[in-house]
Amino acid sequence: MTTKGSLVVLSPVEPDFKFALIDVDAKDSASAVAAGWIAFDPGFQRPLLDTEPMAPRNGWDEHETFHYKVSPNEKLDIEAWTWRAGTKWFVAMLESSDATLARRRGPFGLLASSLRPKGYQRESFAGRAAHPIDAQIINSMRRFLRNAMRQLQIPGVAFSLIDGGKIVYEGGLGVRELGKADRIDADTLFLAASNTKALTTLMLAELVDEKKLRWDEPVVEAYPSFKLGDATITRTVRIKDLVCACTGMPRRDFEWLFDDGRGTPETMMQSLSTMQPTSKFGEVFQYSNTMAAAAGYVGASIAIPGKELGAAYDEAMQRRILDPLGMSRSTFDYAKAMQGDYARPHDQDIDGDTVVTPITYNYAGIPLRPSNGLWTSAHDLSQYVMLELAKGKLPNGQRLVSEENLLQRRVPNVVKGEDDDYGMGLEIDKSWGVTVIHHGGSMAGYKSDMIWFPDYNVGAVILTNSNHGEDLLGPFRRKLAELLFDGKLEADGQIAAAVADNDIQDALYRVRLQVPADPVASGKLAARYVNPVLGPIVVTHNGADVYFHAGMLNAEVASRRNDDGSTSFIVISPNLARGRVYTVGELDHKRTLTLRDDQHEYVFVEQ
């Protein structure tokens, strides 16, 4: 930390990350942020891309985000934020490489979430009695969801409310598929995505009860062929570390999202041998779907030895989790799930309108299903939440898992934000002064959350069939807390802010794209490109339209001229990796397309 007057600059060990904070006197938000940059970087000339109104909370009266123009090849994130309390403005400014921001997102989240006006006392529900979930609360939650669904263009939502260890409401709102009459109900199946992780760790807890595994057992003892790209980490990683998001292993989702249908649990396990940590063990939160999937398969190999990993996992979860809990409709079988009462995925098209989309993109997750592959309903997932509230006991009083090992999964392992930690496939949030355990799920066209207040024997489940469902999850938790504890009314404001942001982002996304793609730029594309890790991209033309074929995807692309003069092609097919950016370049006199996530770069070279 360095200071200069009222300016404070915070930096991690990496030299390409700086976060500056300052109090200023200003007439408005734009003036405040201008004054902040003058203090932090007097020569700052970066053009403004957009401003984004945010829902004020934590004592602030006004809050806004400023995004600045960067080109893909810069690999930078430059943003600023303003907050107002009374007549005083507070400004934060960030200049960081994408990679360092991704690694440091946990500490950065801690900084950002803990900013409050001087003298402000945080809202706390500690010591308050929770209202029972009665008809009034149920109706309030239904009204809130109906309004939010309308504003966010979400076709369908299933949800449940649990009180006293029993389901007091379960049902659905909206439709399974836009344009059709089939209604959502409590038994409608949705892809639960990363909510699967918690059920996988529950299976591991049973194995620990049976002394077939230990939480602190090195993975190589339980599964000798386990291997990461770093020999030291390979020896160090314990069973519980596979699901702690604390090993320093980053997300490498592109490497499974490009699956061409030939991936298997075994090939996924083998891919771990190329994974390298990008932060120290236990240092920061870094979420890895691949590591969590490995946890499930290691457990399955112990539970049902000698069987193919996928089949062993499916059988172990059916026997140990789904059957005992009475989750009779839940399954890992896509074909079985997509019969009868299931919700179709939805996304936004290039103009921001909600449309029904193919489920193709989600098939790539099947080899990683311990991390993201459960199909379930509001009714079924509520059975799991009730087990958590009952500390491992089934409704008939029989114990499925010991309280000790159930609760071990809720022990904080790494910081996500202020009073917000990650355990083993579960998030532990105490920011309201009471403990809230939850975990979200996100796959293409499906966003969900499961929530419980363990000290109050209260819980909830929400499942949505739209990518905009992501904007509903946090406000759903907040609305429930407001009603339970007479909290400040913030949830509706959060929805309004999300709608405003979506409108801004949709307009910016569309205005910068050329559709169909620029014929001159697309005419210079090679017919085929190859990356040694992700495989091939085949380029085809249908009249003026241009398509990229990669893995199981056949997606239309638009073109965009970047501020640095480079050209990118952007996927515009809803739910088929919409928004994915491929930047044109050259390497050794060969044409290239470069795809990046926050910490990795994949160069496809013409073949």
Mark which of 505, 528, 548 sits at the end of a domain.
505
**Residue of 346, 333, 345 lying closest to 376 (CA atoms):** 333
Please report the pLDDT score of residue 559 as a whole number. 97
Could you tell me if residue 201 is inside a domain? yes
Mark which of 59, 79, 113 sits at the end of a domain.
113
Please report the pLDDT score of residue 94 as a whole number. 95
Please report the pLDDT score of residue 577 as a whole number. 84
Q: Would you list the DSSP string of 130-199?
A: PPP--HHHHHHHHHHHHHHHHHHT--EEEEEEEETTEEEEEEEEEBSSTTS-PBP-TT-BEE-GGGHHHH
Could you tell me if residue 165 is inside a domain? yes
Could you tell me if residue 449 is inside a domain? yes
Please report the pLDDT score of residue 61 as a whole number. 94
Helices 470-485/135-152 angle, 10° precision: 160
- Asked if residue 145 and residue 82 are part of one domain, the reply reads no
Average pLDDT over residues 256-263: 87
Please report the pLDDT score of residue 279 as a whole number. 87
Could you tell me if residue 130 is inside a domain? no
- Provide the residue type at 587 as one letter: L
Residue 381 confidence (pLDDT) above 90: yes
- Asked if residue 562 and residue 448 are part of one domain, the reply reads no
Average pLDDT over residues 374-390: 98
Mean pLDDT across the chain? 95
Average pLDDT over residues 27-31: 96
Residue 508 confidence (pLDDT) above 90: no
Tokens of 281: 């063990």
- Asked if residue 188 and residue 39 are part of one domain, the reply reads no
Could you tell me if residue 511 is inside a domain? no
Please report the pLDDT score of residue 370 as a whole number. 97
- Asked if residue 237 and residue 100 are part of one domain, the reply reads no
Please report the pLDDT score of residue 481 as a whole number. 98
Show the domain range for 535: 519-606
Could you tell me if residue 119 is inside a domain? no
Please report the pLDDT score of residue 93 as a whole number. 96
- Provide the residue type at 8 as one letter: V
- Asked if residue 330 and residue 476 are part of one domain, the reply reads yes
CATH number of the CATH domain containing 548:
2.40.128
Residue 260 confidence (pLDDT) above 90: no
Please report the pLDDT score of residue 512 as a whole number. 87
Contact 449, 424 (CB under 8 A): no
The CA-CA-CA angle for residues 178, 179, 184, to 5°, reads 50
Residue 249 confidence (pLDDT) above 90: no
**Residue of 417, 421, 419, 440 lying closest to 431 (CA atoms):** 419
Highest-confidence segment of 100-114, 297-311, 352-366, 500-514: 297-311
pLDDT tens-digit series, residues 66-101: 999 999 999 999 999 999 999 999 999 999 999 999
Q: Nearest 5°: phi and psi at 121?
A: -100, 125
- Asked if residue 409 and residue 473 are part of one domain, the reply reads yes
Residue 382 to residues 251, 379, 478, 604: CA-CA distances in angstroms?
29, 5, 19, 44
Q: Which of the pair, 558 or 57, is modelled with greater confidence?
A: 558
Mark which of 472, 505, 538 sits at the end of a domain.
505
Please report the pLDDT score of residue 590 as a whole number. 97
- Asked if residue 552 and residue 501 are part of one domain, the reply reads no
Helices 196-209/309-317 angle, 10° precision: 80
- Asked if residue 349 and residue 322 are part of one domain, the reply reads yes
For 515, other C-beta atoms within 10 Å of its C-beta total 17
Please report the pLDDT score of residue 12 as a whole number. 87
pLDDT tens-digit series, residues 304-332: 999 999 999 999 999 999 999 999 999 99
- Asked if residue 468 and residue 434 are part of one domain, the reply reads yes
d(CA 594, CA 200): 35
Residue 452 confidence (pLDDT) above 90: yes
Please report the pLDDT score of residue 8 as a whole number. 96
Could you tell me if residue 247 is inside a domain? yes
For 360, other C-beta atoms within 10 Å of its C-beta total 19
- Asked if residue 140 and residue 104 are part of one domain, the reply reads no
pLDDT tens-digit series, residues 553-593: 899 999 999 988 999 999 999 988 888 999 999 999 999 99
pLDDT tens-digit series, residues 565-576: 999 999 999 988
CATH number of the CATH domain containing 62:
3.40.1000.10
- Asked if residue 471 and residue 392 are part of one domain, the reply reads yes
Q: Which residues of 168-195 are buried (b: 16+ CB within 10 A; e: fewer)?
A: bbbbbbbbbbbeeeeebbbbbbbbbbbb
Please report the pLDDT score of residue 64 as a whole number. 94
The number of folded domains in the chain is 3
pLDDT tens-digit series, residues 176-205: 999 999 999 999 999 999 999 999 999 999
Residue 552 confidence (pLDDT) above 90: no
Residue 333 confidence (pLDDT) above 90: yes
Q: Which of the pair, 57 or 397, is modelled with greater confidence?
A: 397
Could you tell me if residue 561 is inside a domain? yes
**Residue of 534, 514, 33, 489 lying closest to 255 (CA atoms):** 534
d(CA 437, CA 420): 10
- Asked if residue 599 and residue 571 are part of one domain, the reply reads yes
d(CA 349, CA 4): 47
Residue 230 confidence (pLDDT) above 90: no
The structure's pTM equals: 0.94
